[in-house]
Amino acid sequence: MSAIGRSIRRIEDRALLTGNGRFAADLNREHQLHMRVVRSPVAFGRLVEVDASDAADVPGVEAIWTAADIAELPQIDFRMTKITGMEPYRQWCLAKDYVRYVGEPVAVVFANSPYAAEDAAELVFCDIDEVDAHLEATAEPVAFMPETMPGLLTEPAVLHKSCGDLDAAFAEAAEVVELELKVGRHTGVPLETRGALAVHDAATDTVTMYGAAKVPHYNRGAIAAMLGLAIDRVHLSEGHVGGGFGIRGELYPEDVLTCHAARRLGRPVKWIEDRKEHLMAANHSRDQVYRMRAAIAPDGFLLGLDVTFITDQGAYVRTHGATVSDLSAALLPGPYVIPAYRVAGHIRLTNKTPAGTYRAPGRYESTFARERLMDAIAARVGIDRLEVRRRNLIPESRIPFDRGMDTLGTGVVYDSGRYHDLLARLEAHVGWEELAASIAERRAAGEMVGLGLGYFIEKSGLGPEDMVRMRVAPDGGIRIITGAASVGQGIETAMAQICADSLGVDTARIAIVHGQTSLIEKGMGAFASRVTVMTGSAIKIASEALIEAALDIGAKLFQVDRASVAYKAGEVRVASSDRAMSLAQLASAWAEQGGLAAEGTFRSDHMTYPYGIHLAQVRIDPGTCDVLVERYTVAYDIGRVINPMLVEGQIVGAVAQGLGGALYENFEYDEAGQPLATSFADYLMPTALEVPEVFTLVREDAPSPINPLGVKGAGEGGITAVGAAIASAVDDAAGRPGMVTRLPITPDRLHAWLA
Amino acid sequence: MKLIKANAADGRVIAGGQSLVAAMNFRLARPDVLIDLNGVKELDFIEETPGELVIGAMTRHAAFHKPVCDGPLGRLLSKVVPNIAHYPIRNRGTFGGSLCHADPASEWCVVAATLDATMKIGSAEGDREVPAADFFRGSFTTAVEPGEILVAIRLPKLDAGWGTGFYEYSRRKGDFALAMALTALRVEGGAISAARVGLGGVADHGKRMADLEAALVGKPATAETFAEVGKLASTLVSPYGDIHGSAEYRRDLTATVVARALAEAADEATA
């Protein structure tokens, strides 16, 4: 029985469920110092002076640094971006000349206890000449740092992409539909806040940072470069990670500061962020405005689409560079033909917390925009919302479909997809006709109920490569070392299943070691739904190489031709004989000659594109303007499923987060730029009581032809179309097509719309 | 009481800690001394007299999940309590702590105000009693002075003819309500003969609304009446707006919660 396709329980859960998890806050070293960050209390201003004299008198305080104390540290560089010209907008580890958002690190206090550090941090006085905060990304850009960088405006970049003949499309159009849509400012909020423990070994001048996540290898290189150390003098080590969602694990000022301090102060340095800090200092996301003009044929076919969008990037451009806007621009067309398309994406800075990627970056937003447009076209042309999509979906005959544009340095080519087929399957799965009839009946009885849908294309498996090393121990245990990372998504289980499937052995024998820069020289980490595709493929390749190595060794040990040995289910057997050796025996017998080991590298120039549909059923309470999600279904084709339980978990969790952005979560600011949602009493994440049961229809109808497993990533599709589907359903419930123009749909907004 | 007196200036008593500890965590409250009442068994009691329910200040919210006495009052308290935050908070937080904290959206404060509770306040000098109308002084402000604590709450019982209702709305289950209404009605021959109405979350503290009660008496117990009185309620409040709801929204929401709580009370009164 294949190990792939089975809901094997998570290997990683035993430690977590028995209280043996080791998260950043669980780690301690003797004589450690505790770091506390002094954060800007104002949104924008000239930093005149930082006075730490009172703070230095607090018992237990060992050091206090401001920007002047770390003049040798450069700005934090971009991890991902092909766009140049954004360098001046990178953030320093501690504010220099100006503060640009509430929460910006201005100074750091190191003390013998976290209490002393926090007490002292409060006494650090920041003398700041305030400047009016710039909070509207849609307004004309203003000066970034007026006095020190005159002429530099708060628009770091404008991205342009296009395909097809847009003028011809508009000349041919029977109708032109125009929309302006906005997605609010929200982000991934992992249960575990950020944290780090940096330890310096003076004998070798090596710094090790525990508490790494997401991209340990990249961050190791970046920290080494910033500290002026050779790359092998820095190690990053990942323990358990309590959620990532794109925001955790990017390189932030605090990570660099702990490493720098451990080395300079000669003591381990621990930093654990509190929730209030997290909500105003870790990456925000989303917050885009779309202005769309669409050229429509009489039958509702979208001939051409002209889009301008603005991303509120917050105060600085962080490690992601232009990633969110780049993905928004390239993937906005989604599953539809759209022969002509032109987009301009403005990256604008404001005096808010800097932004980065959050699960389905650029797709949650652009799917909301595109699917709102599809609903608007249906209303304009007078066809139903399913039919407008059928008329625009890319037909199977045109797959692989080359959009004629790039994103993240790769061409957008949809590798496989049966888009009409999935829509038909979802209709059958939910019993669309009966469902629509029951909704109509309830509406006739006076209820405000409605259905909404969103169709989306995801992307996954970003290259360029992944490499793993595999070794069989003399006891038969198989150890795989990978530079991938775990943010809690279950990679140990899924990777073990892929290896077990290839080798025909039990998953219990397989151990996956990840996130340790000291054990493998390269690795890409965990982001962009890449691990199953890239690392999984590398494991399959390594497993096949291991079988070849076992056959080579077996042939030598049995002293037979290579052709007369065969591999099956963990054994090398001599043809037509009962002579056989297990992997353990082979590894043992060959120990002195190097043992039984293999390496696998998978390279890919293109991403693979899963696709899906969200269907929401909602009820509006007209008395409270509350939106109750009665039922939620996600159809998702991911090519091939490694572990159905893990896939379902990914989808359900992502839907919950998507509902947050659609109905609840919003980082509000007042006119002075003070953040108003800095606790869980004001930043409203949906709880189990707000999230309905989520039904899934996971399909394997379009395996990816561009990796050896046929897999596509499953991590993000559960969130991608939530905003779109909920907006569509709320419109439907209100009987007002086009009513919802922004997210989140709060009772307050709905009250105004319904008035 | 001596400890409380001695630390009147810079000390705080801690009951369930569900508000105070959060405030300390955010460094908004910084008492030098905490006096823990959790070991004071004499404050954790519920007593029933023929006309009253007497609730010790340290009685946990969760004690009210099952009716603590027969009749409308016990039922009403058990209807209200699931609206207070989440179960772990109800298990620890206290009735008296909630009244002393006097959050504008506190359910128990609305109960105390609407049912004319009497608060027994104690100190080293002895006890004094304050009616609810004089107890709540504003947001987070009560008649309890430094050196004093709330000891017990006397709630008058409602006799068998009353039906009660409670309705609140918050964006998520367990959040502070954006508006809430507590109602009690007597209905005779289809007409309302007596009414109690209280509101929370839409003013500086929970309030009994005499104008709404007067508007109800003599009217038929119908959905039209409840909608009309709900509308009247929305004109009598001036809620503040914040990121969870504008003032206009909360005014309209007030009409909804009042009408729904009245409908529930009428159903119970005529059942």
Quote the pLDDT of residue B36: 97
* Contact (CB<8Å) B27/A748: no
DSSP designation for B35: E
Indicate whether B25 and B122 sit together in one domain: yes
For tokens 């847009």, what's the residue?
A166
Indicate whether A321 and A455 sit together in one domain: yes
In this prediction, residues A606-634 reach a mean pLDDT of 98
Cβ neighbors of A704 (< 8 A, separation 6 or more) are A415, A416, A461, A533, A608, A639, A640, A710, A711, A712
- Nearest CA-CA distance, residue B75 and chain A, Å: 24
Indicate whether B149 and B170 sit together in one domain: no
Q: Which residue of A has its CA nearest to B85?
A: A681
CB of A632 closer than 8 Å to CB of A655? yes
Q: What are phi and psi of B94, to 5 degrees?
A: -120, 155
A122 interaction partners in chain B (CB closer than 8 Å): 27
* A640 belongs to a structural domain: yes
Please give the structure tokens belonging to residue A172. Answer: 């041919």
Indicate whether B137 and B85 sit together in one domain: yes
* Contact (CB<8Å) B171/A664: yes
CATH at residue A712: 3.30.365.10
* Contact (CB<8Å) A679/B26: yes
Indicate whether A739 and A623 sit together in one domain: yes
| Domain termination residue (choose one: A133, A166, A192) | A133
d(CA A110, CA A623): 53
Q: What are phi and psi of A202, to 5 degrees?
A: -65, -30
- Nearest CA-CA distance, residue A690 and chain B, Å: 7
Indicate whether A346 and A371 sit together in one domain: yes
Q: Which of B174, B252, B260 sits opposite A751 (nearest CB)?
A: B252
Indicate whether B74 and B116 sit together in one domain: yes
Quote the pLDDT of residue A82: 74
CATH at residue B17: 3.30.465.10
Indicate whether A617 and A526 sit together in one domain: no
Cβ neighbors of B92 (< 8 A, separation 6 or more) are B16, B17, B18, B60
Please give the structure tokens belonging to residue A135. Answer: 């909070």
A679 interaction partners in chain B (CB closer than 8 Å): 26
Whether chain B has a CB inside 8 Å of the CB on A276: the answer is yes
Indicate whether B104 and B17 sit together in one domain: yes
For tokens 């640094």, what's the residue?
A65
Quote the pLDDT of residue A84: 85
Whether the pLDDT of residue A453 is over 80: the answer is: yes
Q: Which residues of A112-135 are buried (b: 16+ CB within 10 A; e: fewer)?
A: bebebbbbbbebbebebeebebbb
Provide the pLDDT confidence category of residue A463 given band limits of 50, 70 and 90: confident
Whether chain A has a CB inside 8 Å of the CB on B28: the answer is no
CB of A514 closer than 8 Å to CB of A482? yes
* Contact (CB<8Å) B249/A687: no
A248 SS3 class: coil
Whether chain A has a CB inside 8 Å of the CB on B176: the answer is yes
Whether chain B has a CB inside 8 Å of the CB on A666: the answer is yes
Indicate whether A574 and A682 sit together in one domain: no
* A327 belongs to a structural domain: yes
Provide the pLDDT confidence category of residue B271 given band limits of 50, 70 and 90: confident
Indicate whether B15 and B140 sit together in one domain: yes
Quote the pLDDT of residue B120: 98
Q: Which of B243, B245, B259 sits opposite A682 (nearest CB)?
A: B243
Indicate whether A331 and A291 sit together in one domain: yes
Provide the pLDDT confidence category of residue A567 given band limits of 50, 70 and 90: very high
d(CA A58, CA A36): 13
d(CA A189, CA A248): 9
Q: Is the peptide bond before A400 cis (omega within 30 degrees of 0)?
A: yes
| Domain termination residue (choose one: B120, B141, B156) | B156
DSSP designation for A661: I
Whether chain A has a CB inside 8 Å of the CB on B208: the answer is no
* A200 belongs to a structural domain: no
Q: Which residue of B has its CA nearest to A747?
A: B245
| Domain termination residue (choose one: A603, A624, A650) | A603
Q: How many residues make up chain B in this entry? A: 271
What DSSP assignment string belongs to A306-334? EEEEEEE--SS--TTTTHHHHHHHHHTTT
Indicate whether B19 and B102 sit together in one domain: yes
Provide the pLDDT confidence category of residue A80 given band limits of 50, 70 and 90: confident
* A663 belongs to a structural domain: yes
Whether chain A has a CB inside 8 Å of the CB on B202: the answer is no
Whether chain B has a CB inside 8 Å of the CB on A193: the answer is no
The count of structural domains within chain B is: 2
The residue type found at A329 is A
The count of structural domains within chain A is: 3
Mutual orientation of helices A363-381 and A722-734 as an angle, nearest 10°?
Answer: 30
Whether the pLDDT of residue A732 is over 90: the answer is: yes
B252 SS3 class: helix
* A615 belongs to a structural domain: yes
* Contact (CB<8Å) A684/B173: no
d(CA A690, CA A726): 14
Q: What share of chain A in percent tops pLDDT 90?
A: 98
Q: Which residue of A has its CA nearest to B180?
A: A624
Please give the structure tokens belonging to residue A608. Answer: 């693979």
B243: left (phi over 0), alpha (psi -120 to 50) or beta: alpha
For tokens 């004589």, what's the residue?
A31
Distances (CA, A) of B166 to A645, B52, B96, B106, B176: 42, 20, 20, 13, 15
Closest CA to A332 of A322, A319, A341: A341
Q: Which residues of A433-446 are buried (b: 16+ CB within 10 A; e: fewer)?
A: eebbeebeeeeeee
The residue type found at B44 is D
d(CA A693, CA A634): 11
pTM confidence score:
0.97
Q: In this predicted model, what pLDDT tens digit does every residue of B51-69 receive, in sequence order? A: 999 999 999 999 999 999 9
Q: Which of A624, A666, A687 sits opposite B256 (nearest CB)?
A: A624
DSSP designation for A562: G
Q: In this predicted model, what pLDDT tens digit does every residue of B125-177 receive, in sequence order? A: 999 999 999 999 999 999 999 999 999 999 999 999 999 999 999 999 999 99
Torsion on CA atoms A374, A726, A363, A718, rounded to nearest 10: -130
Indicate whether A587 and A484 sit together in one domain: yes
Interface test with A, best of B172, B240, B248, B252 (most A CBs within 10 A): B172
B248 interaction partners in chain A (CB closer than 8 Å): 751
- Nearest CA-CA distance, residue A315 and chain B, Å: 22
* Cα four-point dihedral sign A740, A742, A746, A752: negative
Indicate whether B110 and B181 sit together in one domain: no
* Predicted ipTM of the assembly: 0.96
B26 interaction partners in chain A (CB closer than 8 Å): 276, 679
Per the structure, the complete domain to which residue B131 belongs is given by 2-36+43-156
* A318 belongs to a structural domain: yes
Q: What share of chain A in percent tops pLDDT 70?
A: 100
The 10 Å Cβ neighbour count of residue A53 is: 10
* Contact (CB<8Å) B253/A122: no
* Contact (CB<8Å) A625/B249: yes
Torsion on CA atoms A729, A735, A736, A742, rounded to nearest 10: -30
Quote the pLDDT of residue A81: 73
Cα radius of gyration (chain A) = 27
Whether chain B has a CB inside 8 Å of the CB on A687: the answer is yes
B256 interaction partners in chain A (CB closer than 8 Å): 623-624
Q: Which of A623, A664, A689 sits opposite B256 (nearest CB)?
A: A623
- Nearest CA-CA distance, residue B119 and chain A, Å: 30
| Domain termination residue (choose one: A577, A603, A629) | A603
Indicate whether A315 and A449 sit together in one domain: yes
B178 interaction partners in chain A (CB closer than 8 Å): 747
Indicate whether B137 and B167 sit together in one domain: no
Closest CA to A686 of B65, B170, B152: B170
Per the structure, the complete domain to which residue A129 belongs is given by 31-133
Whether chain B has a CB inside 8 Å of the CB on A686: the answer is yes
The 10 Å Cβ neighbour count of residue A97 is: 14
Quote the pLDDT of residue A376: 98
Closest CA to B111 of B53, B186, B50: B53
In this prediction, residues B14-19 reach a mean pLDDT of 97
Interface test with A, best of B180, B240, B243 (most A CBs within 10 A): B243
Whether chain B has a CB inside 8 Å of the CB on A625: the answer is yes
Indicate whether B183 and B210 sit together in one domain: yes
CATH at residue A100: 3.90.1170.50
Whether chain A has a CB inside 8 Å of the CB on B260: the answer is yes
Whether the pLDDT of residue A1 is over 90: the answer is: no
* Contact (CB<8Å) A684/B171: yes
* Contact (CB<8Å) B244/A682: yes
The residue type found at A148 is T
Element (H, E) at A539: helix A536-558
Whether chain A has a CB inside 8 Å of the CB on B175: the answer is yes
Q: Which of B172, B176, B252 sits opposite A689 (nearest CB)?
A: B172
Indicate whether A438 and A294 sit together in one domain: yes
The residue type found at A661 is G
* Contact (CB<8Å) A666/B243: yes
Indicate whether B167 and B259 sit together in one domain: yes
Question: In B, residues 227-256, which contact A (CB 8 Å cutoff)?
Answer: 242-246, 248-249, 252-253, 255-256
d(CA A206, CA A211): 16
CATH at residue B245: 3.30.390.50
* A387 belongs to a structural domain: yes
Rounded to 5 degrees, what angle do the CA atoms B181, B184, B187 make?
Answer: 135
Indicate whether B262 and B188 sit together in one domain: yes
Indicate whether A477 and A442 sit together in one domain: no
* Contact (CB<8Å) A624/B253: yes
CB of A472 closer than 8 Å to CB of A595? yes
| Domain termination residue (choose one: B107, B127, B156) | B156
* A353 belongs to a structural domain: yes
In this prediction, residues A15-21 reach a mean pLDDT of 95
Indicate whether A707 and A632 sit together in one domain: yes
| Domain termination residue (choose one: B156, B190, B209) | B156
